A and B are shown apart, each in its own frame.
Chain A
Amino acid sequence: EPEVTQTPSHQVTQMGQEVILRCVPISNHLYFYWYRQILGQKVEFLVSFYNNEISEKSEIFDDQFSVERPDGSNFTLKIRSTKLEDSAMYFCASSEPAEAFFGQGTRLTVV
């Protein structure tokens, strides 16, 4: 069964450092997403990506964040200068019209 894969599963970084979170969506899906979940809170939308460009982004997705699909399979989320409050689980998802498939997430800890 096709699945969304994310790497790494855990990432610890120092405040101010750049991190890149990687995702391989399901190959025949057209929409890709990044979501964030702070421990114990709801799943928050960050950004959606369609046709090789951002289609929508939330107010959380400020200039510190960027996404790319560099090679037609990988889908990356970059945080340029991490802050303590960026510590969260980051989920990548890709979707069909009715159903979104989530990766297992990357737990980012900023220290």
Chain B
Amino acid sequence: GQSLEQPSEVTAVEGAIVQINCTYQTSGFYGLSWYQQHDGGAPTFLSYNALDGLEETGRFSSFLSRSDSYGYLLLQELQMKDSASYFCAVRDKDRDDKIIFGKGTRLHILP
């Protein structure tokens, strides 16, 4: 089976940088994704790492270390609109018919 661990809450200041970590255990592995969800909204895709290293998309970057079963989402130049929940998710390599989400990290941004 699969399990993902991420902090339940993180607080940061507007304009700062924050890192949200995710560790995973899977029977197979097809890649680590990150999703953002605002209150009352649907999860929206942010990034995907299939290989080790850093993927950068504007203010957001995502990192993966397959050997450590670890990844993180890095948010820079935080804006108030970044206040949301962030979910890491994995897809099983052997059966890519299920995406499993972590419990989510609630990001609070202070002015």
Contacts and interface: CB of A to CB of B under 8 A. Distances in A.
B43 A102 contact: yes
Contacts of A41: 103
Q: Top 4 A-B pairs ranked by shortest CB distance?
A: A102-B42, A55-B97, A42-B103, A98-B48
Chain A contact surface mostly: strand
Interface of A: 31, 33, 35, 41-45, 48, 50, 55-56, 91, 93, 95, 97-105
Interface in B2-49: 30-31, 33, 35, 37, 41-45, 48
A97 B89 CA distance: 13
B32 to A, nearest CB: 10
A7 to B, nearest CB: 14
Contacts of B44: 102
Interface of B: 30-31, 33, 35, 37, 41-45, 48, 50, 87, 89, 91, 95-104
B100 A45 contact: yes
B42 A104 contact: yes
B48 A43 contact: no
A56 B102 contact: no
Contact of B99 (A45, A50, A55): A45
